[in-house]
Structure 1
Amino acid sequence: MASVTVNGGEVVYEILGEAGDLVVLTPGGRFGMNVPGLRPLAEAIVAGGYRVLLWDRPNCGASDVQFYGQSESHMRAETLDGLLDALDEGPCILAGGSGGARDSMLTAMLYPERVTKLALWNIVGGVYGMFNLGAFYVLPSLQTVRGGGTEALPKMREWRERVAANPRNDPRLRNLDRDEFIKLSLRWLNAYVPKPGQTIAGVDDEMFERITVPTLIIRGGVGDLDHPKRTSLEVSCLIAGSTVIEPPWPEDAWERAVEDQGSGRVDHFNLFDTWVQAAPPILEFLDRR
């Protein structure tokens, strides 16, 4: 792994493969590039003749924590643009699931010159999906800082993990301005409030007009509250010429993974374990000229 400085923070990354077009592969949530299930998909794409860029987005893995921008996904898109610039990489393929799908779409909207193709799956949407993100990723830290200031952030489990992976994050968290952090958190939280004309969190539907590259969408599973089938179909309507395919994993794969993670078993099924099953349709899509 290596790192570069982007917008005042270190971003950790790794490039797999020796030759071929570059695919930026992005997971969901605040998971880093070593989350179980991601690397098998990356290795399958490399075996198909491509290079793959794995990266720890700000607030994920071993990268520096950062807090700026209209939403966390806007910050990630700006970071990815800076990372690709620092690596002197030309236009590339963006592939991502869940939050990584949103980050990839937003990057294609804001920096269209960076992107040649898009592959998307597990797209988050709907009332439950959006409220759940705000409640999980924004509210706990916001409430902590309101009560104990930013010096209390490193005591939270999520941020303890970021400090353990990268000790620089302890002072970066403690030294945040309390009032500015609260203001930013409210802005990030607002992105997750469902609104008419925003199919994905914090992004106006008209922004989809900026995506003009070939796009593959693996539709959401029936009954998946986090990544509704409806949302993936709505996104397909918003991206002109996009292709929608049936999920290569079981229809209820995400729901079963959520249940298994809650079981407490050491050998539980990981959320992204099925993603490697997307390698064949993704490679078929990428190989089209």
Structure 2
Amino acid sequence: MPNQKIEINGGNVVYETLGDQGEFIVLTPGGRFSKDIPGLRPLAEKLVEGGYRVLLWDRPNCGKSDVQFYGQSESHMRAETLAQLIAKLDIGPCIIAGGSGGARDSMLTTMLYPELVRKLVVWNIVGGVYGSFVLGSYYIVPSILAVRGAGMKAVSKIDEWQERIAENPDNETRILEQDPQAFLKLMLRWLNAFVPKPGQTIPGVEDEMFDNITVPTLIIRGGENDLDHPKRTSLEVSCLIKGSTLIDPPWPEDAWERAGEDRASGKVKRFNMFDTWVQAAPAILDFLGR
């Protein structure tokens, strides 16, 4: 089904569904990437072939959806959005799956709205000092520097927000209408989520929240030397989610590093690490079918 829009918390969320029968899987990519990032759709199509329907969505601040600025962290905002999306489309309780930032969004949604989730599948879980600092410095700090220096006009000129405006021109007005001081306060709060703290295995989420995840959970661990999605973080999350299933990655241990090297060398125009995600389809389908 082609792109559709639904209003949630005063902003439009763009989504689409694949497949015409079976249980719904909500599939979420990482970063601020859209549902159209290369690599995500092949995985979705394999899951459809396995007998499921898949919901792909552009989270707030991703793809063609409206930008939104509220919440304890950006992931908390997205979890609230996803909960309302599932409820409004009347597809819950459903399966929630995601990688990288999408894994964090999926876990947090399950923690906060457990009644909407039947099973959980996550991979490429971000954690550790390096991984958390990189996210904060890449996604949050530029907006802080811009708004402090020259207000919301400067924020709208940042590459990250220029991409959102290019995909959805209404976002320019939504950004410019933000109160600079309120925006700065929010960005500082969002940045704080990425400061590693004792008792927070994943950024901005207290470990005790993992007690709320009681559904069957599959964790595909991070690669051996992946600094962005550490193996250690996957192991810690598997300990925190009681009864979870932890498996080795179905892609090469160094897949993330090699993709980064390709990007740095200019071999690819964009970071297409997600191209390997389709390799997880058999393991995911096996887990869901148990």
Q: What residue identity is the alignment partner of 2:166?
A: A
Q: What residue identity is the alignment partner of 2:152?
A: T
Q: Following the alignment from structure 1 to structure 2, what is the Cα–Cα distance between the partners of residues 46 and 127?
A: 37
Q: 2:123 aligns with which of 121, 124, 138?
A: 121
Shift of 1:280: 0.2
Q: What residue identity is the alignment partner of 1:38?
A: L
The equivalent of 1:57 in structure 2 is 59
Shift of 1:259: 0.9
Q: 2:281 aligns with which of 279, 282, 286?
A: 279
Q: Which runs of 5+ in 2 are unaligned?
A: none
> Residues 85-109 of structure 1: CA distance to partner in whole angstroms, max 9, x if unpaired?
2212220000000000000000000
Q: Following the alignment from structure 1 to structure 2, what is the Cα–Cα distance between the partners of residues 138 and 221?
A: 26
Q: Following the alignment from structure 1 to structure 2, what is the Cα–Cα distance between the partners of residues 231 and 160?
A: 33
The equivalent of 1:25 in structure 2 is 27
The equivalent of 1:166 in structure 2 is 168
How many residues matched? 288
Q: Following the alignment from structure 2 to structure 1, what is the Cα–Cα distance between the partners of residues 62 and 40?
A: 14
Shift of 1:223: 0.6
Q: Note the aligned Cα RMSD (angstroms).
A: 0.9
Structure 1 residues 266 and 28: alpha-carbon distance in aligned structure 2, compared to 1, 3 A threshold: closer
**Which stretches of structure 1, 4 residues or longer, exceed 4 Å deviation after superposition?**
266-269
The equivalent of 2:181 in structure 1 is 179
Report sequence identity in percent.
71
Shift of 1:155: 1.3
Q: Following the alignment from structure 1 to structure 2, what is the Cα–Cα distance between the partners of residues 142 and 4?
A: 30
1:132 aligns with 2:105: no
Q: Which runs of 5+ in 1 are unaligned?
A: none
Q: Following the alignment from structure 2 to structure 1, what is the Cα–Cα distance between the partners of residues 114 and 129?
A: 29
> Residues 260-288 of structure 1: CA distance to partner in whole angstroms, max 9, x if unpaired?
11111247771101000000000000111
Q: 1:261 aligns with which of 256, 263, 268?
A: 263
The equivalent of 1:230 in structure 2 is 232
- After TM superposition, the score normalised by the length of structure 2 is 0.98
SS at match of 2:259: helix
Structure 1 residues 102 and 268: alpha-carbon distance in aligned structure 2, compared to 1, 3 A threshold: closer
SS at match of 2:66: coil
> Residues 203-226 of structure 1: CA distance to partner in whole angstroms, max 9, x if unpaired?
000000000000000011011000
Is contact 2:263-2:269 (8 Å) kept? Answer: no
SS at match of 2:265: coil
Structure 1 residues 27 and 83: alpha-carbon distance in aligned structure 2, compared to 1, 3 A threshold: same
The equivalent of 2:75 in structure 1 is 73
Is contact 1:152-1:174 (8 Å) kept? Answer: no
Shift of 1:38: 0.2
